[in-house]
Structure 1
Amino acid sequence: MRLERLIFFRNILKDPLVEQYLRLYDLSRKPAASFAELADVYCLFMGTMLEELSRLGNCWSGDGWTCLLVERILADENLFSLKAEKLGREGLGTDFLEIAAQDLQLLEKLGRLTWAELTKQIIAKGKTEASSLPSWNLPSLQTGKQGAEGIKSQLYRHFFGEASWAQAVELLAQYYHQQGVGLYGKYYAFQWTGDDGDEERFSPVLNRDPITFESMFEYQDEHALVIRNTEQFLAGLPANNVLLYGDRGTGKSSTVKALVNRFGPRGLRLIEISKSQLLDLQKIMAQLKDRGLKYIIYIDDLSFAEQDSQYAALKAVLEGGLSLTPPNILIYATSNRRHLLPEKFGDKDVTGMSYDEVRFMDTLQEKLSLADRFGMTVTFVSPDQKKYLAIVEQMAARRGLEIEQEELRKRALLWELHQNSRSPRTARQFLDALQGELGLQQLKEQEGIS
Structure 2
Amino acid sequence: MDHTQIRNALKNCEKLILFQEIKTNSLILNLKENLNDENKSEQVLTDLIYQLIDLSIREGLQGDIWHNYLKKIITASENIFSLKAEKGEITAESSLYKLAANDLKIINKLFAFSFSDLASISGLTGFGYLSDFKLAASDLNIEKEELFQPLFASSNHEDNLEALLDFYYQHGASILNESRAFYWQNNKLSRVNNPDSITFDNLISYQNTQKKTDRKY
Structure-to-structure mapping, 1:139-150, within 5 angstroms:
139-141=133-135, 143-144=137-138, 145=140, 146=142, 148-149=145-146
Using the TM superposition, give the Cα deviation of residue 115 of structure 1 relative to its aligned residue in structure 2, in angstroms: 2.0
Q: 1:87 is paired with a residue of what secondary structure? A: coil
The equivalent of 1:108 in structure 2 is 108
1:189 pairs with 2:181: yes
- Contact kept? 1:88, 1:174, Cα under 8 Å: no
- Contact kept? 1:20, 1:45, Cα under 8 Å: yes
Write out per-residue CA displacement over residues 299-325 of structure 1, whole angstroms, 9 at most, x where no aligned residue. xxxxxxxxxxxxxxxxxxxxxxxxxxx
Using the TM superposition, give the Cα deviation of residue 116 of structure 1 relative to its aligned residue in structure 2, in angstroms: 2.2
For the residues of structure 2 that align with 1:116 and 1:149, how far apart are their CA atoms?
Answer: 23
Using the TM superposition, give the Cα deviation of residue 208 of structure 1 relative to its aligned residue in structure 2, in angstroms: 0.9
Structure-to-structure mapping, 1:237-386, within 5 angstroms:
251=201, 254-255=202-203, 334=204, 378=209
For the residues of structure 2 that align with 1:8 and 1:186, how far apart are their CA atoms?
Answer: 20
The equivalent of 2:214 in structure 1 is none
For the residues of structure 2 that align with 1:29 and 1:166, how far apart are their CA atoms?
Answer: 30
RCO (CA 8 Å, sep 6+): is it higher in 1 or 2?
2
The equivalent of 1:203 in structure 2 is 190
The equivalent of 1:47 in structure 2 is 50
The equivalent of 2:27 in structure 1 is 20
The equivalent of 1:136 in structure 2 is 130
Write out per-residue CA displacement over residues 153-188 of structure 1, whole angstroms, 9 at most, x where no aligned residue. 332xxx244x22343212211221111011111112
Higher strand share: 1
- Contact kept? 1:66, 1:160, Cα under 8 Å: no
Using the TM superposition, give the Cα deviation of residue 66 of structure 1 relative to its aligned residue in structure 2, in angstroms: 1.1
For the residues of structure 1 that align with 2:74 and 2:158, how far apart are their CA atoms?
Answer: 13
Give the greater-gyration-radius structure (CA).
1
Using the TM superposition, give the Cα deviation of residue 87 of structure 1 relative to its aligned residue in structure 2, in angstroms: 2.7
The equivalent of 1:9 in structure 2 is 19
For the residues of structure 1 that align with 2:161 and 2:134, how far apart are their CA atoms?
Answer: 32
For the residues of structure 2 that align with 1:191 and 1:135, how far apart are their CA atoms?
Answer: 38
Give the TM-score taking structure 1 as reference length.
0.40
Using the TM superposition, give the Cα deviation of residue 47 of structure 1 relative to its aligned residue in structure 2, in angstroms: 1.3
- Contact kept? 2:108, 2:157, Cα under 8 Å: yes
Write out per-residue CA displacement over residues 392-422 of structure 1, whole angstroms, 9 at most, x where no aligned residue. xxxxxxxxxxxxxxxxxxxxxxxxxxxxxxx
Q: 2:194 is paired with a residue of what secondary structure? A: coil
For the residues of structure 2 that align with 1:335 and 1:211, how far apart are their CA atoms?
Answer: 14
- Contact kept? 1:80, 1:96, Cα under 8 Å: yes
Using the TM superposition, give the Cα deviation of residue 14 of structure 1 relative to its aligned residue in structure 2, in angstroms: 3.1
Give the TM-score taking structure 2 as reference length.
0.77
For the residues of structure 2 that align with 1:207 and 1:51, how far apart are their CA atoms?
Answer: 18
For the residues of structure 2 that align with 1:69 and 1:204, how far apart are their CA atoms?
Answer: 21
- Contact kept? 2:60, 2:135, Cα under 8 Å: no
Query: Which amino acid in 2 is paired with 1:204?
Result: R
Gaps of 5+ in 2: 1-10, 212-217
Higher helix share: 2
Q: 1:140 is paired with a residue of what secondary structure? A: coil
Using the TM superposition, give the Cα deviation of residue 28 of structure 1 relative to its aligned residue in structure 2, in angstroms: 2.1
1:177 pairs with 2:175: no
Write out per-residue CA displacement over residues 334-388 of structure 1, whole angstroms, 9 at most, x where no aligned residue. 579xxxxxxxxxxxxxxxxxxxxxxxxxxxxxxxxxxxxxxxx7167xxxxxxxx
Change (3 A) 1:174 1:89: farther
Query: Which amino acid in 2 is paired with 1:57?
Result: G
Using the TM superposition, give the Cα deviation of residue 64 of structure 1 relative to its aligned residue in structure 2, in angstroms: 1.6
Query: Which amino acid in 2 is paired with 1:55?
Result: R
Write out per-residue CA displacement over residues 11-37 of structure 1, whole angstroms, 9 at most, x where no aligned residue. 23334xxx2233123322323x14xx2
Using the TM superposition, give the Cα deviation of residue 4 of structure 1 relative to its aligned residue in structure 2, in angstroms: 1.6
For the residues of structure 2 that align with 1:105 and 1:26, how far apart are their CA atoms?
Answer: 22
Q: 1:154 aligns with which of 150, 156, 162?
A: 150
Change (3 A) 1:58 1:122: closer
